[in-house]
Structure 1
């Protein structure tokens, strides 16, 4: 691979396995790179097949589990096993479990809530040890007050990711977890939080450690230089940006 850490990111309009042929591990964002609104981009199946077992998904998704996503991707002819799919919501739950927390205020879609219960979290305790905010389409203005009341008791806030949105089909905007955080901060501007989602390098480090691959032997493909690119820099991994506007 000619690219070196610290070089400006290379941009390509589509995924192409030839661009990552020399990488020992290929880390790839999901929405905007492989799929959009549940549909695979045309070149995605060939890219996945060309990367083989070097490919890991590293996504800020926080509304589903890796197991469910693997099944969804298989229906799109994208065969990626669940143990090579890292999703910010699921990773946040795993991280909190590793810290020993078991009482959690979880604001998330039902698949994440079900997983949390299976992991042993108590979700309805009156004194939670942490609040975790994931993408939750059911959260309304009426729910913000309850969340902030918990946080006013100095309970730490964790969020799955800071993304305000991700790209949908034809460039349409899909609101993300960061938009919920922004709404909370409009009420409490001083609100602080923790995250394992990109641009934090947590998920990239996890994939590299699991594969036993050094950062300089990897490559990370993403469509968002502010989150994907920053995460790559922080992990010391070369970054290749997928910019589909170049193909228009």
Structure 2
């Protein structure tokens, strides 16, 4: 930490606070403690489908009261990146309201005629026509951006193809790889830090995945906490060449310890996943 200031928190949403829209036990107490203590935090998600307002409503139905300004999506990170790269540009978007709203908010024109960028996000309604148009625009010189590299996502019926899977299709057809903005790109962490007004040296990244959350936290210079309430278990975590700062069962283990999650009184690591 810097000058003994309290820790700030970046945290993944799915697998950390909720699982398939059900509250992770203790997550509500954890968030309440952060808000009551005035500790800075930002909830992150690679999902670009929803706006922060949509996500706030979904989280509230799960029992979590999180302000819109405390939610950071890969769509918002992508919009910020494009605003810095090419202010006032244009884009052909394959995605939903979370992405189109973010790009409109930075003054981008959405068009299918000679756009500066093809921007691919997640959607539940990928169409052959839209993908074909994206391929032809990339072949014609549009720069290819994707919100995140996630290849699949969960649903009640099983796995769903996600942004990375469709990006691979476009890349195979065009020979042009996209630039991914979301996790594990540390750019996602840095843009969230700027939005939060926090410094990397006094910020913790909490995630349930070694390959995205922990990796991007490490590469952005953050301390990292892996929770075992989502994707990565203790055994799978050991397979990676890097390690989180600490492993916890869930965010419930941080209740009462948010001021210093790495202090001597921090909870013992669980013995099984």
Alignment TM-score, normalising by the size of structure 2:
0.73
* Match in the other structure for 1:160: 147
* Match in the other structure for 1:242: 227
Contact 1:32 1:166 in 2 (8 A): no
* Match in the other structure for 1:46: 29
How far does residue 203 in structure 1 lie from its aligned partner after superposition?
Answer: 2.6
From 16, 21, 33, the equivalent of 1:33 is: 16
1:104 maps to 2:87: no
CA distance in 2, matches of 1:31, 1:103: 31
Cα–Cα, structure 1 residues 67 and 109, in superposed 2: closer, same or farther, change >3 Å? same
Cα–Cα, structure 1 residues 118 and 25, in superposed 2: closer, same or farther, change >3 Å? closer
* Match in the other structure for 1:78: 64
How far does residue 210 in structure 1 lie from its aligned partner after superposition?
Answer: 4.1
CA distance in 1, matches of 2:93, 2:196: 30
Count of residues in Structure 1 that have an aligned counterpart in Structure 2: 226
* Secondary structure of residue in 1 paired with 2:30: helix
Contact 2:51 2:101 in 1 (8 A): no
* Match in the other structure for 1:216: 201
Contact 1:31 1:167 in 2 (8 A): no
How far does residue 95 in structure 1 lie from its aligned partner after superposition?
Answer: 2.4
Q: Deviations over 1:165-218 (max 9, x none)?
A: 245569x53432111112223334x32222221111123223333444332321
Contact 2:88 2:107 in 1 (8 A): no
Contact 2:41 2:196 in 1 (8 A): no
1:93 maps to 2:79: yes
CA distance in 1, matches of 2:193, 2:177: 29
Contact 2:183 2:213 in 1 (8 A): yes
1:55-70 matches, cutoff 5 A = 55-70=41-56
Question: Which deviates more from structure 2 when the two are superposed, residues 200-209 or residues 122-131?
Answer: 200-209
Alignment TM-score, normalising by the size of structure 1:
0.80
* Match in the other structure for 2:162: 176
Cα–Cα, structure 1 residues 174 and 31, in superposed 2: closer, same or farther, change >3 Å? farther
Cα–Cα, structure 1 residues 221 and 118, in superposed 2: closer, same or farther, change >3 Å? closer
Q: CA RMSD in A?
A: 2.6
* Secondary structure of residue in 1 paired with 2:109: coil
Runs of 4+ aligned residues of structure 1 deviating over 4 Å after TM superposition are: 167-170, 245-248
Unaligned ranges ≥5, structure 1? 2-21
The structure with higher relative contact order (CA 8 Å, sep 6+) is 1
* Match in the other structure for 2:126: 139
How far does residue 23 in structure 1 lie from its aligned partner after superposition?
Answer: 5.6
Contact 1:32 1:167 in 2 (8 A): no
